[in-house]
Amino acid sequence: MKLTMCIVGCGGYARNVLGDIHDMTDEFEFYFASRDIEKAQQYSEDFGGVGAFGSYEEAASDPRIQSLYFFTPHDTHLGNVKLAASHGKHILIEKPIARTLDEAQEMVRIARDAGVKLMVAENYRFLLTVDKAQEIMSQGRVGDSFGELRQIELQAEGYSHPTEWRKSAEQNGGGVFIDGGIHFVDIMLRLGGFPESVYAIQPPQLFTDVEGEDGIVMTARLSGGVPAIINFSRSTPIREKPPMVHLTGTKGKLSFVPYGRELSVETLQVRRTVRVAAPRRGVRQMVSEFRAAIEEDREPVMSGHEAIRDLAIVLAAYESARTGQVVNLSEPQS
């Protein structure tokens, strides 16, 4: 089945993603929608689209469109879902699912009631490095050089001043953690499970014109007392360097760059490299999964429920940073 998909919101990241997926013409027919018809026409021309719309409503109501992939600011996500669902269209929406759990739960409910699929475009779910780490951890592969999980450390630091709607806590739903840091929360969740509690501190703000935080250090207590640390910053005055994931086990340690092609597996005796045929960002696999979930009429990987779990951790970190207290967590409802 070829799925007609309208790209909604012709901004920076939509251009980025289309660079990766525009040639998937066996699976998709792409349309483009913008509040500015000329922008939609330009994207359609640049990426081999078959049509363009000058409003989101026009796209959602067009009978040729089966699904909408939204690339818009976070305060518009709930409205996007209402619009698409009211026209019976399947929904792929960029991360984070929403700004609050109430918004996110409403989105899940609306999609469920309308009988349409809702998937959140968390491309880190589709990274082969994380798949391989999970395989090594769960099966004791590579000469059983990992053992039991003892600690997770994720470090993602860079220097990138938020602009436009990202400077507004209201539109963004927070600062850099809900925006970029949520990817690393997703890796932690996948490799270590849902935490029992979190504690977070924000370093002194460098970008004082940005309402939300420009960096955060979150520690989480995972099942069995395993600690996880995420150091996520956009205000570290260094040249961009790749994020790192370190997983310590009872028998060795795994380290990798999420977008990379290899994992380092180190023990007291040896250090070796395990390669993966890494897709750069996992975006192609992500859109294929969305199409397959529609075709097979099943929940997609990275369903609304999965995305709510990521969001709950981010929001708990915000609460902890605000109150200075440890925040206990339980599995959120959806």
Ligand X SMILES: NC(=O)c1ccc[n+]([C@@H]2O[C@H](COP(=O)([O-])OP(=O)(O)OC[C@H]3O[C@@H](n4cnc5c(N)ncnc54)[C@H](OP(=O)(O)O)[C@@H]3O)[C@@H](O)[C@H]2O)c1
Identity of the residue, 59 or 149, whose beta carbon is nearer to ligand X in the bound complex: 59
Identity of the residue, 13 or 333, whose beta carbon is nearer to ligand X in the bound complex: 13
DSSP secondary structure letters along 102-133: HHHHHHHHHHHHHT--EEEE-GGGG-HHHHHH
Sole window of 29-37, 126-134, 268-276, 316-324 interacting with ligand X (rule: CB under 6 A)? 29-37
Q: Does 72 bind ligand X (CB under 6 A)?
A: yes
Q: Does 94 bind ligand X (CB under 6 A)?
A: yes
Q: Which of 26, 27, 31 is nearest to 10 (CA)?
A: 31
Pick from 28, 71, 184, 232: which binds ligand X (CB under 6 A)?
71
Identity of the residue, 106 or 135, whose beta carbon is nearer to ligand X in the bound complex: 106
Identity of the residue, 155 or 172, whose beta carbon is nearer to ligand X in the bound complex: 172
Q: Does 4 bind ligand X (CB under 6 A)?
A: no
Q: How far is the CB of 8 from ligand X (least distance, A)?
A: 7
Of residues 125 through 164, those in contact with ligand X by CB under 6 A are: 164
DSSP secondary structure letters along 164-199: GGGG-HHHHSSSHIIIIIHHHHHHHHHHH-S-SEEE
Residue nearest to ligand X (CB): 11
Sort residue 46 into left (φ over 0), alpha (ψ -120 to 50) or beta: alpha
Of residues 176 through 195, those in contact with ligand X by CB under 6 A are: 179
DSSP SS3 for 215: strand
CA 251, 282, 212, 83 dihedral sign is negative
Identity of the residue, 128 or 142, whose beta carbon is nearer to ligand X in the bound complex: 128
Pick from 4, 44, 76, 236: which binds ligand X (CB under 6 A)?
76
Identity of the residue, 274 or 314, whose beta carbon is nearer to ligand X in the bound complex: 314
Pick from 34, 41, 66, 67: which binds ligand X (CB under 6 A)?
34
Q: Which two tokens stand for residue 160?
A: 């990138």
Identity of the residue, 54 or 193, whose beta carbon is nearer to ligand X in the bound complex: 54
Q: How far is the CB of 69 from ligand X (least distance, A)?
A: 10
Pick from 6, 14, 78, 302: which binds ligand X (CB under 6 A)?
14
Q: Which of 86, 8, 91, 18 is nearest to 53 (CA)?
A: 8
Cα–Cα separations (whole angstroms), residue 9 to 40, 62, 72, 242, 288:
8, 16, 6, 28, 20
Distance CA 211, CA 75 (A): 15
Identity of the residue, 72 or 231, whose beta carbon is nearer to ligand X in the bound complex: 72
Sheet containing 67-70: order of strands: 51-53, 28-33, 3-8, 67-70, 90-94, 118-121
DSSP secondary structure letters along 233-261: ESB-SS-----EEEEEESS-EEEE-TTSS
Pick from 89, 90, 95, 190: which binds ligand X (CB under 6 A)?
95
Sole window of 67-75, 144-152, 265-273, 310-318 interacting with ligand X (rule: CB under 6 A)? 67-75
DSSP H or E stretch at residue 94: strand 90-94
Q: Greatest CA separation found in the chain?
A: 63
Q: How far is the CB of 257 from ligand X (least distance, A)?
A: 15
Identity of the residue, 85 or 222, whose beta carbon is nearer to ligand X in the bound complex: 85
Q: Does 41 bind ligand X (CB under 6 A)?
A: no
Sole window of 65-73, 204-212, 270-278, 314-322 interacting with ligand X (rule: CB under 6 A)? 65-73
Contact 282, 126 (CB under 8 A): yes
Count of residues that bind ligand X according to CB under 6 A? 21
Q: Does 88 bind ligand X (CB under 6 A)?
A: no
Q: Which residues bind ligand X (CB under 6 A)?
A: 9-14, 34-36, 39, 71-74, 76, 94-95, 123, 164-165, 179
